[in-house]
Structure formats: structure tokens, C-alpha cells
Chain A
């Protein structure tokens, strides 16, 4: 915990230092500035555009914006959130251009009515040492992409930020421009939706599955 905090602090100090050097005319430090986040940029753009070439184009476009507007960033320690938001905006823009009017947005009404608040950062460390499952990684990947495609874009985005990139709630709020309560409820709904979408492919039993067999004798003549 302690070292994580220290790392985060020294990291934002380094970012501030790089930005200062960039603004003083040493533009080549831009390479180092984006390096920690460039994979995240791609994954985020891809999650929105679902096309490799488009995702790279959107990231490049965002890079131009970051490069030319860095002097407008008031708080250097917010570079991470700011840059992610720029990438997201560029990707959404391209997505709209690609598919006019087809950008799904979920109804905000769906998100009201859950007031439990989020506390503290998460620790997924102890979830990682699960034994590998029978399904191959490539199959899991394909299933996951397919499932992600089937859910609303806003769900896809929040899952990517929180569960793939493991950004904290504050960062997610800032990037998506939504409240803490909305981050929480949207994430919860997104997880349940993705789980449902993933269930048939990964052989995960669904509630409806159990419902169907409830009280039924699997060897009854009616089923033969």
C-alpha cells in the first residue's frame, strides 16, 4: 500500500517534470510522457471502434491534440485522465463518423435509484492466482470480444476503464464525466450484462438455466 502510494506520487512528479521540459521546448520527451499509457489508449479506442485500423487512427489523432494542446493542461498531475479523455473523444468522433447516429447510449433513468457509495481502491491481486480454466486463452479472448460487442458502448467503456485498466473511481468519474454513484451502478450493471453475454460461450450456468430445470426430473419421460 505504502509503496504503491509512493510510486504514484513519484510517477506524477515525473510526469509534471516531463511536461515542464516539453513546454520549455524539449519536445522529444513526449515519447516518455505517453509511454506508460499508450497501450491503454489503444485498448480504449479499440473498445469503442472495434476495428484495429480505426483504433490506431483515433489514437494518432488524439496524439496530435495532446501534442499541440499540452500547454492548456492546467494540472500536470491530471495528464493521465486528460489524455485518456482525449483519446476517448477522438474515438467517439470517429465512431460517429463511421456509423452515423448508431452510437448507443444507455438510458440514464436506468442508473438512478442506487445510492450505495464506493469506498477506497480495489485489490484484485488475490483473484489472479486462480487455476487456469479448460477453455483456451484464444477462445476466451474471442468470446470476450464477442460479448463486449453485444453490450451498450457505455457499459463497454466503463468495464474497460475499471476492470481491464483498473483505473480508480475518481479517475473514471473524471474521464467519463459522471458521478461516483453512476460509476458504481453502471459498472455493476455492465458486469452483470457482460456475464450474461459471456455465459453461453464459457459454459457458465445462467440463472435462467437453473430456472428452467427447477423441480424437473432430468430423466423424466417428457424430456426424451
Chain B
């Protein structure tokens, strides 16, 4: 008998495909029969999909321009100090 605690402990590895075939079978059998664990599994999976979508974490408008103007100023300063 495998406990819910064991299954939850394997969720990350299972999601990443880092479990043995035997463990995968055990987890999948448990998930089919346990509403609680399958809810944790589904929502974790959903959460990871959302986080992997980089448009979720947008950088502020003009960030790139400001950063590269700043780099320009560093380059200019370096140039003037060597010449």
C-alpha cells in the first residue's frame, strides 16, 4: 500500500519524467483512484504550464532601451578613460 504522502513526494519527479517505470505505474494507479492526489497533480501541472509561459512575466516597457543606453554610457566612459 502506497500512501498519499509518498505519491505527493514524487509529484515533481513524476511531472519531469524522472521516475522508474515501476514507480510511474504505482503513481498512475494511485492517481486514478485518489481524487485528492489527482487534484494536487493536475493543479501543479497546470501551475507549471502557466509559469513556463514567459509572457506571464513581462518586463516593463522601455526596459531594454534604458538598459542599453546605460551600457552605451559605460562604453563611452571606458573609451574616454583609455584614450
Q: Chain A residues in contact with chain B, CB under 8 A?
A: 25, 27-28, 30-31, 34, 38-39, 42-43, 46, 52, 56, 59-60, 63-64, 67, 114, 116, 118-120, 122-124, 127-128, 130, 133, 137, 140-141, 144, 159, 163-164, 166, 184, 187-188, 191-192, 194-195, 198-199, 202, 204-207, 210-211
Contact = CB atoms under 8 A, between A and B. Distances in A.
B17 A122 contact: yes
Given A140-B56, A163-B52, A164-B57, A31 B12 contact: no
Main secondary structure of the interface of A (DSSP, over half): helix
A198 B11 CA distance: 17
10 residue pairs, one from A and one from B, having the closest CB atoms: A204-B43, A188-B12, A205-B39, A163-B51, A27-B75, A42-B59, A127-B49, A122-B16, A210-B36, A67-B74
Given A164-B57, A191-B47, A210 B71 contact: no
Interface footprint category on B = 35 or more
Contacts, number: 119
Contacts of B56: 137, 140-141, 144
B67 A140 contact: no
Interface of B: 8-9, 11-13, 16-18, 35-36, 39-40, 42-57, 59-60, 63-64, 66-68, 70-71, 74-75, 78-79, 82
28 contacts: A25-B82, A27-B78, A30-B74, A31-B68, A39-B54, A46-B57, A56-B66, A63-B71, A67-B74, A67-B78, A119-B18, A120-B18, A123-B17, A124-B52, A130-B46, A137-B55, A140-B56, A163-B52, A188-B9, A191-B44, A191-B47, A192-B40, A192-B44, A194-B47, A198-B43, A202-B46, A204-B43, A211-B36
Contacts of A191: 11-12, 44, 47-48
